[in-house]
Chain A
Amino acid sequence: MNNFGYSISPSSRIDLDKRDNDKFTRIVLLEPGFRKCMACGLCSSTCSGANFTDVSLRRAIEMIQDGQEKSAIVLLKGCMLCGKCNIICPRGINTRNLIRNILKVYMEELQ
């Protein structure tokens, strides 16, 4: 094989095999709104924490759907649970409950 000095980078975007489906279903059970997210980003744009750091619920949800749970937790750890996203969410997702449960379910193995 010729060495061109570069190679095809593996896709990190969507890899459903990496996703822990058990935990994913657990979160859906704990917060049914999880599946309703349409990634509009209103939660991230209104976020109090996002003024200071890169807290973003929208990105975190997408990351979990793609199996990148660890990076999602890093994003959500800074959440102050103030509830602004809860009020603003056009899909009526209980975002606070979602964030709490994501942290709870995915932090279990890290501890």
Chain B
Amino acid sequence: MKERFLFGYDPFVLPFTLGMVFIILYLLVGTARIIISLTHEEQISLLKSLKPKQLFKTIKDVITDCLLHIKIFKRNPLLGYMHFSIAFGWFMLIVVGHIEVMLYTPQRNGILYYPVFFRYFVMETQQTLRGAFFFFLMDLFLLMVLSGIALAIFKRFRSRALGMRRTTKLKIGDTFALYSLWAIFPLRLLAESFTADISGGSFLTKSINHLVHGFVSNPDNALPIWWCYSIALGVFLFALPFSRYMHIPTEILLIFLRNAGIKATSFRNGYAEAEIYSCSRCGICIDACPMGVNLGDIKFSTVYTIRLLRKRENALEGAEKCLMCNKCVEVCPVGINSTQLKLLYRQSFNDTGDHDFSYLSPQNIKHNKEKILYYAGCMTHLAPAIYLSLFKILKKAGIEYNFMDADGSICCGRPLMLSGDFKGASQLIDKNKDIILNSGCTTLLLSCPICYKVFREEYNLQGIEVVHHSVYINDLLNSGKIKVDRVHESFVFHDPCELGRGSNIYNEPRELLSSIGTLKNSPEEKGESICCGGSLGSLTMQYERRKRITEHSLSMLYTNNPDTLVTACPLCLKTFSPVNSKRTVDIAQVVSEHLI
């Protein structure tokens, strides 16, 4: 292998080199800005996370998420392969390209453009096994990327074949980056094929060179195609910061920050900024969003809200319309906690402290010897059948309890928090916390997943176990304190957002139902369950639109034609019952009906 040119330079490398210098500077400035905007503690924990053991995990995460795209593979193998082949193939092209430079032209080490245009600058003097091996690798990975690009082009026309009903609408920056990305690899193939008789090649480039030999035997024809290749790379690199492909570099930073335990504390600062730029606008959240059943509401789905945030435009409408059901967070391949971003965004507008809760005097406190404190919460008071059934079960099991809000509840604070008013919510949290801590209980039993989430995450009740009744009843059944009849009835379980995705409780309610009757599946359940539409998360959505979501969710639940719809959330129960032609019951009601 020998160099063809004395200086190892040709003007065609300029577009690529300028683009590369631009993007390196841009990334350095961006990374520095994000790290500077972190608080001192966050910076220290980021430094601490660079210890070998944690670093190893972070690098593993970077490889599985950014290169192999394991999460997308799990969703749809073909879509996963598309992302995997482009990312991994391209990465390997870069790596093998550098190895080639190191081996054959070590004097050119460190020159930005040399590995990229290696085959233009060298000529093959003798065929060796090592050379053939590297050429084969380069052609193999190029073929891999090309197959991914072919899939990507196919997906533009028929996204359904890759498991996506809707894809993201592109903006001008995205269009430039997308088309230049599509152009890069076919152009690379042509460029390398045109010079394959000089530089050598493998199964792909050599074969094409043979095919078009008459044309390329005139070396003047090769240079224009190398120019095109370099320009395509240059356009892509210059368009990168203004396009969705910014996620490629930012995601690595995001994984480092996430593994250091850093969380978003404002909607546009430090970690949040990294999250916003990591959004690849893949559009997986569009199909997942329950609002998708209302055609006009697609523009409010997470991907577009994050795009508005990134452009520093007003995203309030989307942020306030969102049901906060967390499904987009569940399916997001990058793991962006968009619900938290929207919540922080709401907070920046609505944390007014308009509310006044001084009327909630501390006289409600009563001390009791019972170790179990039951808090129904506002919503459960709308469906008293739930707590009456629960009390029947507790009585049967011989368990003494104390009903904290028999005379009316002080709200748990979660609804106020969801509206962005953290100040008001903290007042309610303090009032409730006083009552709970003074009651001397060791277990706080709840029926409402909305309360459950906030009691677990915001109350900081040390020494008190917070349980949801579906888990508690399941424990009673497992420990033999209650017994149930087996009946010929089939159930389908609707996972409430705050219980499933919010608190990661999926199996206990299912175990419980399976011990009573037959549990039928629905196509979108557990992490993928569709919000009932009644969510308190949405501040502005109107009744008609909510109702359509409820109907859609219900039709999915009834796919396998179960007899009864069971849920574990009073809000879901109240939302489904008016629309449901069959019976909607809470899980406590099912158990109490079949107690022996």
Contact = CB atoms under 8 A, between A and B. Distances in A.
A84 B378 contact: yes
Contacts of A19: none
A66 B375 CA distance: 39
Contacts, number: 91
Contacts of A59: none
Interface in A31-46: 31-33, 46
Nearest to B378: A82
B407 interface: yes
Interface string B321-362: 000000000000000000000000000001010111101100
B539 A100 contact: yes
Given A48-B410, A83-B415, A94-B541, A103 B378 contact: no
Contacts of B413: 80
Contact of B419 (A33, A48, A96): A96
A79 interface: yes
B66 interface: no
A80 B416 contact: yes
Given A80-B357, A96-B536, A104-B352, A87 B408 contact: no
Interface string B460-484: 0000000000000000000000000
A97 B534 CA distance: 14
A77 B355 contact: yes
Interface in B535-559: 536, 539-544
Residues of B contacting A: mostly: loop
B382 interface: yes
B411 A80 contact: yes
Interface residues of A, number: 28
B361 to A, nearest CB: 8
Contacts of B350: 100
B582 to A, nearest CB: 20
A52 B536 CA distance: 22
Contacts of B534: 87
Contact of A83 (B355, B360, B428, B536): B536
A87 B574 contact: yes
Interface of A: 31-33, 46, 48, 51-53, 77-84, 86-88, 92-94, 96-97, 100, 103-104, 107
List the 7 shortest-distance A-B pairs measured between CB atoms, nearest first. A51-B408, A92-B543, A80-B411, A53-B359, A82-B378, A82-B411, A77-B356
Interface of B: 350, 352, 354-357, 359-360, 378-379, 381-382, 407-411, 413, 415-416, 419, 421, 424, 428, 534, 536, 539-544, 571, 574-575
